[in-house]
Amino acid sequence: MSRADVVESARPVSPLWTFGLLRNELTTTFRRWRTLALLAVLAGVPVLVGIAVKIETGDGSSPGGGGGGGGPAFISQITNNGLFLVFTALAATLPFFLPMAIGVVAGDAIAGEANAGTLRYLLVSPAGRTRLLLTKYATVVLFCLAATLVVAVSALTVGALLFPLGDLTTISGTHISFAEGLGRALLIALVVAASLIGVAALGLFVSTLTNSGIAAMATTVGLLITVQILDQIPQLHALQPYFFSHYWLSFADLMREPVYWDDLAKNLGLQALYAAVFGSAAWARFTTKDITA
């Protein structure tokens, strides 16, 4: 729906210019100390998990407290195959660390500019509000991908250093080669990144509502926590399939043989719906609001 607006732009703007805007946004975002700190925390999680599992299993015992199967998914398989650390790390960071990082970046996207007084200068340039919003959203989505890949690459490195690699067993009990395992790990990372675009759109919408970057970040992260808590309350089971976090852990279905697509499809559909609803709400808000700062 917002495409139409891009076309409707008064002055013809070369696509290169849009690309320049996006590149500009990306360098600004990824150069911030805040962003780098977030990525460092995300990279640290697999290191912690890997070292903890290594120490715990140093005496030959199995992780996860024996037959209990506690802890994040796949944790009991890490000692046998370092590749599983990728899945464990993503399962451990997806409920909170990753969306929190997205919430911070997305919440800051518009409100941060308004807060710093740079928003109106951005709008003075021949960008147009819709285009600026799309650029901001693209930046946040690319950050989702970058954050997920940081976790995955860090986990793979730690896994390769601390544990053996090789052919792996899917959770259905069948064997796949290491190359196919790596392929699935990449696919899982992409699915995890895609799982976050709903939160990204929500954060962007919140960001258009306020002129305070901190307020937008806090609201987004607060919403995230609230939804996660509501998702645990059994009485709300009728609503839960519509919570953006409900199908997040379905990425594990990619490790079944054959892959069980039902929940994965539901997850991606739900994320697309959230992106469409909150993206268009952000557009409605941002293109009509008075920019005073």
Binding residues vs other proteins (CB under 8 A): 1, 5-6, 8-11, 62, 64, 66-69, 73-74, 76-77, 79-81, 91, 123, 126, 128-131, 166, 168-169, 171-175, 249, 252-253, 256-257, 260, 262, 273, 276-278, 280-281, 283-284, 287-288, 290-291
User: CB 32 → other proteins: shortest distance, Å?
Assistant: 27
End-to-end CA distance of the chain: give it in Å, rounded.
Answer: 27
Give the residue with the Cβ less far from other proteins, 9 or 28.
Answer: 9
From 181, 153, 182, select the one nearest 168 (Cα to Cα): 181
User: CB 154 → other proteins: shortest distance, Å?
Assistant: 20
Give the residue with the Cβ less far from other proteins, 25 or 253.
Answer: 253
User: CB 231 → other proteins: shortest distance, Å?
Assistant: 12
Give the residue with the Cβ less far from other proteins, 146 or 282.
Answer: 282
User: CB 172 → other proteins: shortest distance, Å?
Assistant: 5
The radius of gyration of the chain's CA atoms, rounded to the nearest angstrom, is: 21
The pair phi, psi for residue 243, each rounded to 5°, is -80, 135
Between CA 115 and CA 112 the distance in angstroms is 5
Task: Output helix, strand, coil percentages for the chain, rounded to the nearest 5.
Answer: 75, 0, 25
Between CA 113 and CA 107 the distance in angstroms is 11
Give the residue with the Cβ less far from other proteins, 212 or 280.
Answer: 280
